[in-house]
Amino acid sequence: MKVAIISDIHDQSENLKWAVDQMRKLKVDQVFALGDYSSPYIVERLGLVGVPVIAVWGNNDGDQVAMFKAVLEDKNNQIYFKKGTFAEIEYDGQKYFITHYPLLADNAAQSGKYQAVFHGHTHRQRNEVINNTPIINPGKLATYPDNKISFAIYDTETKEVKFVEK
């Protein structure tokens, strides 16, 4: 199964449109969204990918109530927000940890309890191993601090990570 990992959109709707188009072309089965959406219309557009999206909050998410309302009003979207800034996810027979924050991700990877750990926040791609656990940052869809735009695809069968860059 292919899982798309995205983070740090920061209201960049054109970059999100590009990412959604790429996810459809690559036929992802699931999306993990790692925070910093910034506004409700971004959440609405994220729902256009057409597969389930499990989301956690970041530190730049604006009006979370309005984002929940946008999700609830669209009966076709498949976005599921977790309550906080991290979540343990059971997916494809494995356990994953998703968060916006690198410190939480590092600690989760150190525990050795997860197949893989995913985080955002730094706006930089990361593909490392801590205590035999892959820890991945997909990069960002925001345009700052540089214009390197990316997200990641994680294959749950092969355990391979591919960064998709604009």
152 pLDDT band, cuts 50/70/90, is: very high
Distances (CA, A) of 10 to 48, 60, 67, 144: 17, 7, 14, 9
Q: Which of 164, 152, 84 is nearest to 118 (CA)?
A: 152
| Least trusted range by pLDDT, from 84-93, 100-109, 124-133 | 84-93
Q: What is the pLDDT of residue 53?
A: 95
Q: What is the pLDDT of residues 28-80, one digit of tens each?
A: 999 999 999 988 888 888 888 999 999 999 998 888 888 877 777 777 778 89
* pTM of the entire predicted model: 0.95
Look up residue 93 and give its two tokens: 């027979």
CATH of the domain at 93: 3.60.21.10
Q: DSSP characters for 12-46?
A: -HHHHHHHHHHHHHTT-SEEEE-S---SHHHHHHH
Torsion 43-45-46-52 (CA) sign: positive
Q: What is the pLDDT of residue 149?
A: 98
**Gap between the Cα atoms of 85 and 144, Å rounded:** 22
Write down the residue that tokens 């924050």 correspond to: 101
Strands (E), 7-160: 30-33, 53-55, 79-81, 86-91, 94-99, 116-118, 125-130, 133-138, 150-155
Q: How many domains does the chain have?
A: 1
Which residues form the domain of 26? 2-165
Look up residue 14 and give its two tokens: 């054109």
